[in-house]
Structure formats: structure tokens, C-alpha cells
């Protein structure tokens, strides 16, 4: 074997280590920039309709069911939230902005009490066109919700196209939601 080939052979483990290090560095940098969260899971609901459910509303208002999501006139968001959830308060302002842009947002309160909810909506604003309450949390399990807040994007044919676990930020809206709105509206 020529000395050049020998040197190349010694370079193989080194190159592997460099590639691995580069990968870890990229992951950490994206985590730091809040661009990547290794705990988020892909949703099996993507490309499907939401599961069968029918939830009551709050304070005598009507709730909604999966049949109300079959053919929305515009692409819409379904936002799972709770009055006891801090990231939900963080994203409240962003939800208000989205509602003002004319995007229909329907809310499902996760394991919450009507009185707490009323106080929460009074304090943080109410961006929701429709509100339902999943007090037992069993509908959330059928949706594959594993924490609040979670936001689902539903297109005009009632198909879920995107799920975001965590508070919606300016960056998430610019990176994920705006392109979806452009594509499906």
C-alpha cells in the first residue's frame, strides 16, 4: 500500500469523529436558537382528520365536535391550552395577533375548570372563535396530545397538516405557519 493510501486510511476515523462532532454542534446550536427541540414528536394525525369527539362548551356556550372540522371555509388552527399552563400565557399575544389576521382559531381547554378558564380568558384575552372543554383529558389522548399548548393546522378539506407542541412564537409562525397558510388558503 502506498504511503498516501495509508495516510487516507488513518484519516477515516478522524473524518468520522469530525462529522459526528459537526452534527452535535449543529443540533446544540439549533437548540440554543430555539429552532429545534429534541422532545417534540411527529404527530400521527398529520395527513388525517381529527379523531371522533364531541366536547361541551364553557358557561352554557356550545362546544364543538370533529364533524364541525370536516370542511372549514378557511384553513384554521385548533389550539389546546389550559389556564394552569405557563407557555399558554406566553403564546396568548401571538394567538391574538393571528386571530386579528383573520385566521380562525378554535380552542380546546385541557383538564381545566370553567371558573379558572373564565379568569384566564379575561386576563389573557380570548382569541377563540369556538371553545370546548376536555375536562377528563381523554379526547386529548385520542388526538395524541402530550402536553399543552399544542396547535394543529387544519386545511379546507379538514385534514391536519401540521402540529406544533409548545408556545407559538414569531419565529415559528414565520418559519412554519405562514408558508402553510400561503399553501393551503
Partner 1 sequence: MRRLLLLLAFLPALAFAQDNMVTRDGVTLTPAQEARAEAIGDQLRCLVCQNESIEESNAKLAGQLRGIIRAQVKQGVPSKSIMHYMVQRYGIFVLLKPPISPLTWLLYASPILALLLGLGIFWLGRRRAAPPPPAPLSGTEAARLDELLKE
Q: Does residue number 89 form part of the binding site for partner 1 (CB under 8 A)?
A: no
Per-residue x/- mask for partner 1, residues 99 to 128, rule CB under 8 A?
Answer: ------------x-----------------
Part of the chain binding partner 1 (CB under 8 A), chosen from 6-14, 74-82, 149-157, 171-179: 6-14
d(CA 150, CA 40): 11
What does the longest C-alpha to C-alpha distance in the chain come to? 84
Which residues inside 12-31 make contact with partner 1, applying CB under 8 A?
A: 12
Over the window 56 to 85, marking each residue x when it contacts partner 1 by CB under 8 A and - when it does not, the resulting string is ------------------------------
Tell me: does residue 147 bind partner 1 (CB under 8 A): yes
DSSP symbols for 35-91: S--TT----TTTTSPPPS-EE--STT---EEGGGGSS-SS-EEEEEE-TT-HHHHHH
Least Å from the CB of residue 24 to partner 1: 16
How long, in residues, is the chain? 185
d(CA 156, CA 104): 12
Closer residue to partner 1, CB minimum distance, 19 or 182: 19
Binding mask 150-179 for partner 1 (x = CB under 8 A): ------------------------------
Residues paired with 107 in a beta bridge? 79, 131
Give the H or E element holding residue 6. helix 3-32
Chosen residue from 57, 87, 114, 144 binding partner 1 by CB under 8 A: 144
Contacts of 176 (CB under 8 A, 6+ apart): 162, 164
Binding residues (CB under 8 A) for partner 1: these are: 1, 6, 9, 12, 39, 41-44, 111, 137-138, 141-144, 146-147
Amino acid at each position: 500500500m502506498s504511503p498516501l493510501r495509508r495516510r487516507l486510511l488513518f484519516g477515516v476515523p478522524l473524518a468520522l469523529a469530525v462529522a459526528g462532532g459537526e452534527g452535535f454542534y449543529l443540533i446544540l446550536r439549533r437548540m440554543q436558537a430555539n429552532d429545534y427541540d429534541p422532545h417534540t414528536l411527529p404527530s400521527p394525525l398529520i395527513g388525517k382528520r381529527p379523531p371522533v369527539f364531541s366536547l361541551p362548551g364553557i358557561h352554557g356556550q356550545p362546544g364543538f365536535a370533529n364533524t364541525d372540522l370536516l370542511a372549514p371555509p378557511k384553513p384554521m388552527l385548533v389550539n389546546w391550552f389550559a389556564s394552569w399552563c405557563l407557555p399558554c400565557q406566553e403564546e396568548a399575544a401571538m394567538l391574538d395577533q393571528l386571530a386579528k389576521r383573520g385566521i380562525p382559531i378554535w380552542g380546546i381547554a385541557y383538564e381545566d375548570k370553567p371558573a379558572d378558564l373564565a379568569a384566564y380568558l379575561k386576563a389573557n384575552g380570548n382569541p377563540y372563535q369556538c371553545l370546548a372543554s376536555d375536562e377528563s383529558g381523554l379526547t386529548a389522548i385520542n388526538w395524541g396530545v402530550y402536553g399543552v399548548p399544542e396547535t394543529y393546522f387544519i386545511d379546507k378539506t379538514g385534514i391536519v397538516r401540521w402540529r406544533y407542541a409548545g408556545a407559538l412564537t414569531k419565529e415559528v409562525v414565520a418559519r412554519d405557519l405562514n408558508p402553510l397558510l400561503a399553501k393551503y388558503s
